[in-house]
Amino acid sequence: MNCTKCKTKAVISLPRHNAAFCKGCFNGFVHDQVARAIKSEWMFGKEERILVAVSGGKDSLALWDILLKLGYRADALYVNLGIGTYSEQSHAKVTKFAEVVAASHGATLHLHTVEQEAGAGIKELAQLIHRPTCSTCGTIKRYQFNRVAIEQQYDVMATGHNLDDEAARLLGNVLHWQEEYLEKQGPSLPASVEGFAKKVKPLYRLSERELAAYAVLNRIDYIVEECPMAKGSKMLQYKEVLNRLETESPGTKQTFYWGFLEKQSKKQPTATTMTEKDRAVLHPCTSCSQPTTAEVCSYCKMMVRAKTVVPR
């Protein structure tokens, strides 16, 4: 198998693109896909400051790596959730990447430790508020990510969601006809109200397999293990189903998600109607002033609960 571009020995084949690449051409392909995503969805420019949410997994570290190599001003935030060895290991991988790779580009890593602020890890917090661990984790990560972005004046927040993530989420939203979520499933969400930063997903054109290959080929040391809390989750089930379809007919995920985006873009002007809707229901939390639909945001409610129950 030879590289489609330069005819030397290929290291990876990409059935959905009918192509195979050597390491150099594959890196070029990955960088090109991200550059196209940034441009076509008006994500950010070279002067803007980007905050990447990193977890220690392949996607978010690859995203940080790619943005820095493409010459963007990208810093990162890591939230330590306190999930035993999983958190210890992912924390170590992120710190190592920040010291070895990101620092040479002048990039900074911000850290937030859940246990330090709440006095308890994610599992105990979830029990306290009677919510599933994954949704509690989502609340905390979203909250901290937005807080750091606003406080440190970043122009945009970027997450490592890839094509597999977005196709699986879309499948879930369609299966349950969650129209409200469908509206917000684009890879670029504007800063709808004061206190909410713009959110983008620059990896939506790349698959999980492609990102794993990118991480391995570029010696990015990442945590391979999935979060132990996510085992058996609906999202993983949807991914499995889509993977089976993809094996039978390469390009299924891409046709599904990109096709959805194309339809969305014709329904203009989504961004403005979405912003108007958000403005109508959101106002500052009376405790922390981050935007919320309630009087006190769910994060502040959780912290109050944690601080009254957990002895410090």
Minimum distance of Zn ion from residue 178's CB (angstroms): 25
User: Using an 8 Å Cβ cutoff, are 35 and 18 in contact?
Assistant: no
Residue number, 6 or 230, with CB nearest to Zn ion: 6
Binding-residue total with Zn ion (CB under 5 A):
10
Q: Which of 140, 297, 302, 303 binds Zn ion (CB under 5 A)?
A: 297
Q: Considering the complex, what minimum distance in angstroms separates the CB of residue 118 from Zn ion?
A: 14
- Residue 96 touching Zn ion (CB under 5 A): no
Q: Collapsing DSSP states into helix, strand and coil, what is residue 124?
A: helix
Q: Which of 5, 17, 105, 234 binds Zn ion (CB under 5 A)?
A: 5
For the chain, the first-to-last Cα distance in angstroms comes to 61
With b for 16 or more beta-carbon neighbours within 10 A and e for fewer, the 221-260 pattern comes to bbbeeebebeeeeeeeebbeebbeebeeeeebbbebbbeb
Give the interface segment with Zn ion, choosing from 19-27, 82-90, 121-129, 235-243 (CB under 5 A): 19-27
d(CA 230, CA 226): 7
Question: Does position 302 bind Zn ion by CB under 5 A?
Answer: no
Indicate the helix (H) or strand (E) that contains 36. Answer: helix 23-40
Q: In the bound complex, what is the minimum distance in angstroms from residue 296's beta carbon to Zn ion?
A: 6
Residues numbered 234-293 forming contacts with Zn ion, rule: CB under 5 A:
285, 287-288
Quick one: 296 or 309, whose CB is closer to Zn ion? 296
Nearer to Zn ion (CB atom), residue 128 or residue 288: 288
Query: In the complex, what is the shortest distance from the CB of residue 290 to Zn ion, in angstroms, rounded to a whole number?
Result: 5
The answer to whether the peptide bond before residue 269 is cis (omega within 30 degrees of 0) is yes
User: E strands along the chain, which residues?
Assistant: 12-14, 19-21, 49-54, 73-80, 109-113, 156-158, 188-189, 198-200, 283-284, 291-292
User: Is 6 a residue that touches Zn ion (CB under 5 A)?
Assistant: yes
Q: Between 5 and 96, name the residue whose CB sits nearer to Zn ion.
A: 5
Of 158 and 213, which CB lies nearer to Zn ion in the complex structure?
A: 213
Name 304's Cβ contacts closer than 8 Å, sequence gap at least 6.
296
Judged by CB under 5 A, the chain residues 23 through 62 that form the site for Zn ion are: 25
Residues that bind Zn ion (CB under 5 A): 3, 5-6, 22, 25, 285, 287-288, 297, 300
